[in-house]
A = this chain, B = another copy of it.
Amino acid sequence: MSSMTSTVDIQQAVTTDAFDLGPARALSCRECGHRIPLAAEFACAECFGPLEVSYDFGDITRESIEAGPRSIWRYRGLLPVPSNVREHPNTEPGMTRLVKADRLAAALGLKSLWVKDDTGNPTHSFKDRVVAVALAAARELGFRVLACPSTGNLANAVAAAAARAGWESVVLIPSNLERAKILTTAVYDGALIAVDGNYDDVNRLATELAAEHEDWAFVNVNVRPYYAEGSKTLGYEVAEQLGWRLPEQIVIPVASGSQLTKVDKAFREFGELGLVEATPYKVFGAQATGCSPVSTAFKGGHDVVRPVKPDTIARSLAIGAPADGPYVLDAVRRTGGAVEDVTDAEVVEGIRLLARTEGIFAETAGGVTVATARKLIAAGKIDPDAETVLLITGDGLKTLDAVQDQIGPKATIPPSAAAVREVLGH
C-alpha cells in the first residue's frame, strides 16, 4: 500500500524536518506515485492526480494507543499532525459510541450488528474529525485562517474549531441555505459569508480565494490531503472498540467517497502494523438514488464515475462529481463489497427504523446507510451471518425537514386520562 512504502525513497526526496507533522513524511500522487515534500498542496504537479499523505510509522502498540486521550488524538502517531498536537486548543472529537444494535439487527435479519454513532462529536457529525486534523496540520504549515465552502456539517465544524482555537474563520455558503444551518454556523462568530449562487459557484470561489490568500487554509481544498486523513480515525475506533479486531462487513455513506477509502485504509494499516489480525472484510458503499454516480458505475461495471446533477434529500451526500469515486470502486471491488443506492422514501424509512429500534436519530446520510444495508441484505450481497458495522455520520437534528411530513404526535387530546386511554386502547 502506498502509504506504507519504504521510507528510504521518501527521505531521499524530502526534507523531513521542514514540518513536524508526526509520522507524515511526504505527499505522494495516488495516480502516478510522484512524491513531494510535505506542503499545502493537493494536486500532483506531474499529472494533476490527488495527493495523499505517506507515512513512516514508528512503533505503535495497542498499549500506547490505549494510554492516550479519549479523542482522535490517541491515534496521533498515525495521523499527519504535530506530536504536540494536544498543546493547542482544538475540538478533540472522536471516541464516539459503538453501539451493539440488537433490535436493528433483528429488524434487518442480521446476526450481529453495530452502529458507530458519530452524532456524539462536538458539532454532531464526523466532520469534526477531519476538521480537527486539518486545523492541526494547517497550524504547522503556517496558516492562520480556517476556511471552507460548505452547505452544512462542514460549516459547523470549521466555525466551531476555529472559535475554539482562537483562529479567524471564513465560511462560504450558498445564500439560499436553510435558516437553521446558517444559525448553527453563525453562532461561532467567524466570517460567515452568504454567496448568491449554487454550491458549485461557492466551491469555485473557494478555490480562487485559496490561491489568493496564502494564510487561508481551505480545509477541503488546499489542505485536503491532511483533512481527509482524519476519516481514518473512524476505522481505527471501530477496530479498537470491537476489541482490536476488524468487522466482517461495513456499510459507509458515499459523498466524495473520501471517508470510505480512508476507513478501508485504516483497516489495512491496523492489519499491517499488527494491531489487529488482518482478517478479510467487505466494504459497502451507500448512496441516495438522486445522487448515485458511484453506485451507477459499480453496477454497470465501469471504472469511470460519470458526474450527475444531484436531486435528493440527502444533501450532505449530494456531490455529483465525487473526487474519490474511482478509489471507492477499487476498495469495494478489492474487498468483495458492493455499492447500492436507495430512494428518498427509503432514506426516511431508514432514519425512522434506526430511531425506533435503537433510539438514534440520524441525519439523512444515516438513513441512506441503514436503507442501503437493508437493500443489500435482501439482495444477498450482505451476509446476514457475518458481523456488520453501519457508520452513522451525522445528526437528525440538522435535517428535520426530511422527516417533518412523515411524523408527529399520535393524537391531540383534551387533558383527561380518559382521552389518553382512548388513544392507547388501555
| A contact set with B: CB distance below 8 Å | 70, 89, 91-92, 95, 97, 99-100, 102-103, 117, 119-124, 159-164, 166, 170, 172-173, 175, 179-180, 182-184, 186-189, 191-197, 201-202, 204-205, 208-209, 212-213, 351-352, 355-361, 395-398, 400, 403-404, 407-417, 420, 423-424, 426
Asked if A95 contacts B120 (CB within 8 A), the reply is no
Complex CA–CA separation, A195 to B100 (angstroms)? 35
Please give, as numbers and ranges, the residues of chain B lying within 8 Å of A183 by CB-CB distance: 400, 403-404, 407-408
Asked if A188 contacts B420 (CB within 8 A), the reply is no
- Partner of A361 from the list B89, B160, B162 (CB cut-off 8 Å) is B160
Complex CA–CA separation, A179 to B180 (angstroms)? 13
A186 and B95 in contact, given A122-B359, A415-B201, A423-B193 (Cβ under 8 angstroms): no
Chain A interface, >50% SS class:
mixed
Asked if B396 contacts A184 (CB within 8 A), the reply is yes
Please give, as numbers and ranges, the residues of chain B lying within 8 Å of A356 by CB-CB distance: 163, 187-189
Q: Which residue of B lies closest to A213 (CB)?
A: B426
A144 to chain B, nearest CB (A): 11
A-B pairs with beta carbons under 8 Å apart, 23 shown: A70-B70, A92-B99, A97-B122, A123-B361, A124-B397, A159-B359, A161-B359, A164-B359, A175-B409, A183-B408, A186-B407, A186-B408, A186-B409, A188-B361, A191-B423, A193-B420, A193-B423, A195-B412, A196-B415, A201-B415, A204-B415, A205-B416, A397-B397
Complex CA–CA separation, A163 to B159 (angstroms)? 33
Q: Which residue of B lies closest to A99 (CB)?
A: B92
Complex CA–CA separation, A352 to B117 (angstroms)? 27
- Partner of A410 from the list B187, B193, B205, B407 (CB cut-off 8 Å) is B193
- Partner of A95 from the list B70, B119, B180 (CB cut-off 8 Å) is B70
A75 to chain B, nearest CB (A): 16
Asked if B102 contacts A179 (CB within 8 A), the reply is no
Asked if B409 contacts A187 (CB within 8 A), the reply is no
Q: Which residue of B lies closest to A128 (CB)?
A: B359
Q: Which residue of B lies closest to A189 (CB)?
A: B356
Asked if B409 contacts A194 (CB within 8 A), the reply is yes
Please give, as numbers and ranges, the residues of chain B lying within 8 Å of A188 by CB-CB distance: 355-356, 359, 361
Please give, as numbers and ranges, the residues of chain B lying within 8 Å of A361 by CB-CB distance: 123, 160, 184, 187-188
A119 to chain B, nearest CB (A): 8
Complex CA–CA separation, A205 to B413 (angstroms)? 11
Asked if A420 contacts B209 (CB within 8 A), the reply is yes
Please give, as numbers and ranges, the residues of chain B lying within 8 Å of A121 by CB-CB distance: 120
A37 to chain B, nearest CB (A): 28
Complex CA–CA separation, A213 to B417 (angstroms)? 10
Asked if A415 contacts B103 (CB within 8 A), the reply is no
- Partner of A403 from the list B187, B208, B209, B351 (CB cut-off 8 Å) is B187
Asked if B163 contacts A209 (CB within 8 A), the reply is no
A415 and B197 in contact, given A182-B409, A187-B355, A358-B164 (Cβ under 8 angstroms): yes
Please give, as numbers and ranges, the residues of chain B lying within 8 Å of A195 by CB-CB distance: 412-415
A191 and B120 in contact, given A184-B396, A397-B398 (Cβ under 8 angstroms): no
Most interface-central of A186, A212, A213 (chain B CB within 10 A): A186
Complex CA–CA separation, A409 to B184 (angstroms)? 11
Complex CA–CA separation, A412 to B197 (angstroms)? 10
- Partner of A415 from the list B89, B205, B212 (CB cut-off 8 Å) is B205
Complex CA–CA separation, A209 to B424 (angstroms)? 12
A189 to chain B, nearest CB (A): 4
Please give, as numbers and ranges, the residues of chain B lying within 8 Å of A407 by CB-CB distance: 183, 186-187, 189
Please give, as numbers and ranges, the residues of chain B lying within 8 Å of A122 by CB-CB distance: 97, 117, 119-120, 359-360
- Partner of A196 from the list B193, B204, B414 (CB cut-off 8 Å) is B414
Complex CA–CA separation, A420 to B209 (angstroms)? 9
